[in-house]
Amino acid sequence: MAARALFDKLWDAHVVQDLGDGWALLHIDRHLMHDLGGGPAFAELARRGLNLHDPELTFATADHAVSSKPGRTASTFPLGGRLHAALRDGARASGVRFFDLGTAGQGIVHVMGPELGIVLPGLSVVCTDSHTCTNGGLGALAFGIGSSESVHVLATQTLRQQKPRRMRIRCEGRLGAGVTAKDLALHIIGRLGAAAGVGHAIEFAGPAVEALEVEARLTLCNLAVELGARFGLVAPDESTIAWVRGKPWAPEGAAFEAAARDWRTLASDADAVFDREVSIDAAQVRPTVTWGTSPEHAIAIDACIPEPASLGARAEEGAAALAYMGLQPNAPIAGTPIDWVFIGSCANSRLSDLRAAAAVVGSRKVAPGVNAWVVPGSEIVKREAEAEGLHRLFIEAGFQWREPGCSMCVAANGEQVPPGQRSVSTSNRNFVGRQGPGARTHLASPAVAAAAAIAGCITDPRNLA
């Protein structure tokens, strides 16, 4: 058989029927639903008089529109309460497992899937959400879909898809001390541009990726869509297998060992051919932040804000971004005063992220005037963090310790950065108005966000006094 890339192996394993012209009907192993898309999909299924094909392969949780206020209930944010009820009732009526607020399993859909072992290496995974590519960090064939596709999956457990081209980003060398997967992701997007992966499935490979912990690989793949790719992938290895072992929905005993043997075959063949290959020197990556209104507006934290003219064809866009962000070209980005810090989102709200932020905070205090929030990605993350006392460390420092959900990443639950105020956020999108109308967002790692909270300005955590 011809040499195949990891993506080819995953794709081939799910083809039910080749439809020609690069199209295939794929089997879908896991369908995840959230509060924005879930209720409407169940309603459409009912309107068309269709039944669920495999309710046990679909899982639902409310994340986008739920309040993260301590002690919240579903109706703390009333619109979110209605979406939550529609999802819960649709799931119950059709036999789909729904993880309700306050129970283990609730959380940001891309956090709870892997942590429960619902998502496993080699599985095909869909959700009506562009960051479904996060799950590719385990070696799953995971991609975001639209709402009518979600109804198709509910009714048939299959989906018609066109195979994307294959791209490999090899990260050579090692990341330096204090440099994280988030910095690597922002660095790559800054170098290649936000459209570099359009039409491609991106495999992240090379020694710097192999050295990443599994949760960091989820962070890296989370940002594949900010390169324009619907799929991000890291080949599963022994650390993946160790991470997945013992997760509630993962197979057990002999079934796990058999699955693990299969997962070990999920790597690109040595002579696999890619449509595009890029090489990144990981040792060159520094803590990285964005200065503008696209994730590609990323620079090293010790660099200066660019002059729009230096952006060539993008000069006009860059000037508009600077105006929106209230920044001057050629000034160092470090030292920019900030008003908000948001540590959360499916990019960086796992236990390892909260530990990294806590390590920077230590016994220091949040700077006066800064509103700093920690929003754990899931109920399980929240409980694990509390068991380690991280919540106490954050609260004593002056952070708010909140309930799991998307919260201020997209502000769909009414939690917004006020107009004109500046936020350092561990999320993945800094678009105009993303954290609220007029809000100014700088994307960064949990360590950089924590350092900003302490210093009151954008600060390299490695230089924090």
Query: Which of 6, 298, 346, 360 touches ligand SF4 (CB under 6 A)?
Result: 346
**By CB under 6 A, residue 76 contacts ligand IPM:** no
Helix H or strand E encompassing 241? helix 238-244
Tokens matching residue 432: 């105009």
Which of ligand SF4, ligand IPM, none sits in contact with 108, Cβ below 5 to 8 A by type?
A: ligand SF4
| Residue of this chain nearest to ligand IPM (CB atom) | 130
Instruction: Confirm if 424 and 442 have CB atoms less than 8 A apart.
Output: yes
- The binding track of 41-80 with respect to ligand SF4, each residue x by CB under 6 A or -, is ----------------------xx----------------
Give the residue with the Cβ less far from ligand IPM, 411 or 449: 411
Among ligand SF4, ligand IPM, none, what does residue 345 contact (CB within 5–8 Å per kind)?
ligand SF4
What's the start-to-end Cα distance of the chain, in Å? 58
Binding mask 411-450 for ligand SF4 (x = CB under 6 A): ----------------xx----------------------
165, 235, 275, 337 from 3: Cα distances, Å: 15, 16, 14, 52
The tokens describing 403, both together, are: 């309930």
Kindly write down the DSSP assignment for every residue of 85-142, as one continuous string: HHHHHHHHHHT-EEE-TTSBTBB-HHHHHHHHTSS-TT-EEEESSGGGGGGGGGT-EE
Q: Please state, in angstroms and rounded to a whole number, the distance separating the CA atoms of residues 91 and 82.
A: 14
Residue selected from 28, 108, 301, 341 as contacting ligand SF4 according to rule CB under 6 A: 108
Query: Which partner in ligand SF4, ligand IPM, none is near 36 (CB below 5 to 8 A by kind)?
Result: ligand IPM
Window of 179-187, 266-274, 311-319, 406-414 that interacts with ligand SF4 by CB under 6 A: 406-414
| CA 90 to each of CA 98, 110, 112: distance values in angstroms, whole numbers, following the listed order | 9, 20, 20
Which one among 123, 202, 406, 417 touches ligand SF4, defined by CB under 6 A? Answer: 406
What are all long-range contacts of 390-394, with beta carbons under 8 Å and residues at least 24 apart? 390/354, 390/355, 390/358, 393/358, 393/361, 393/362, 394/357, 394/358, 394/361
Name which of 186 and 410 has its Cβ closer to ligand IPM: 410
CB of 440 to ligand SF4, least distance (A): 17
Q: Which residues of this chain interact with ligand SF4, rule CB under 6 A?
A: 63-64, 108, 110, 129, 131, 345-346, 406, 409-410, 427-428
